[in-house]
Structure 1
């Protein structure tokens, strides 16, 4: 039997290391499809797993760590001007990431019985909601923050002639990335979380 505190520290170190690799190794955590627009990210999967396996507090912490890295990258080596404009804002960088981890943990707690079907459904929903929460909160906070002065953001998005509300423009431009990320996270979260949960139970028993 492993001491719970030691086990939690080890798991924390593993998740931090995974997010560092996803952030700094090209084409692992961020996959660029369209030049000039934010990359599709696989990191919501890691955050969803953290929340599902270890609970909402741990998920929030891992999500917050991702947000801090997003803030750091936006200032030091932004991959595109849109990411620079968005994630240099502390609220846009931190709040959606932390909230995504919390949501993953809250939903993941519903997987309490031994039913494989129930766990699959719960973890699928957790993965889907983790990714969507991140995307929708980024879009919502961005639309509020740039509501009175959207010129620079619209120019970077190539939407200077678009008269639609800013939130509608953001949904149309960034929504494709969000949908791809949500599908990816929803499919892989149960596939990875379920066997890991069994391993963790054995280690703790």
Structure 2
């Protein structure tokens, strides 16, 4: 019985990793253009995994996304800015890895005191916040160069202001979307898995 559960868990992880790879590589799936904004949907997938299967699986899926982001920055950049930023694993890998950890533990902690839907909502929100703050903070700390600053229509001295503008536009929309979509997907999956057991 335990062997069957382990095989089922590994199969599930493999499918989730395939979903992350497809989201990252296929245009219009992992990044949705919304007017002047581009909404990253991959934190939703990592958040759903963290809520349904826990922080460890969330970290695995988030880590795969981070590793893919890092490798793509060298061989198949998603934008002209990617090689300047995402070749640093502290910006490309660590934030994605921590989305799953943060979302998973937020859900575990909050579901004891609030409804599962509210706990999943906050888990999605905090996973997205983790990604946004750590990526943009990493850009400011480790990639504050004239080339990066000019891509944000700023100088190195006012890059922080430009990155804060990204947080208040793109970041807030991503956080809201992730907070709403994670419970909408994760809770029915949790319910279905409980019925199967």
Is it true that 1:27 corresponds to 2:24 in the alignment?
A: no
* Residue matched to 1:133: 130
CA distance in 2, matches of 1:75, 1:136: 23
- Superposition RMSD in Å: 2.3
Structure 1 residue aligned with 2:121: 124
Runs (4 or more) in structure 1 with deviation over 3 Å come to 32-35, 110-113
Give the deviation of 1:92 after TM superposition. 0.4
Q: TM-score, normalised by structure 1?
A: 0.86
Per the TM alignment, residue 48 of structure 1 is displaced from its structure 2 partner at its CA by 0.1
Match of 1:202 in 2: 195
CA spacing shift, 1:103–1:70, aligned 2, 3 Å: same
Q: Distance in 2 between matches of 1:75 and 1:31?
A: 23
- Structure 1 residues 105 and 70, CA, compared in 2 at 3 Å: closer, same or farther? same
Which secondary structure state, in structure 2, belongs to the residue aligned with residue 28 of structure 1?
coil
Separation in structure 1 between the aligned mates of residue 131 and residue 150 of structure 2, nearest angstrom: 23
Question: Offset at 1:56?
Answer: 1.0
What residue number does 1:154 align with?
Answer: 149
- Residue 34 (structure 1) shift: 7.2
Mapped partners of 1:60, 1:140: distance in 2: 20
CA distance in 2, matches of 1:26, 1:79: 9
Structure 2 match to 1:145: 142
User: How many correspondences in the alignment?
Assistant: 196
In structure 2, list runs of 5 or more residues that go unmatched: none
Q: Which has the higher contact order (CA 8 A, sep 6+)?
A: 1
The CA deviation string for residues 18-77 of structure 1, in whole angstroms up to 9 with x for no partner, is 111101111001124578x9x421000000011111111111111110001111222222
CA 1:183–1:141 in 2, change beyond 3 Å: closer, same or farther?
Answer: same
Structure 1 34/145 Cα, relative in aligned 2: closer, same or farther at 3 Å? farther
Deviations 1:95-136 (CA, angstroms, capped at 9, x unpaired): 1001111001101224657x9x70110000000110111000
SS of residue matched to 2:77: coil
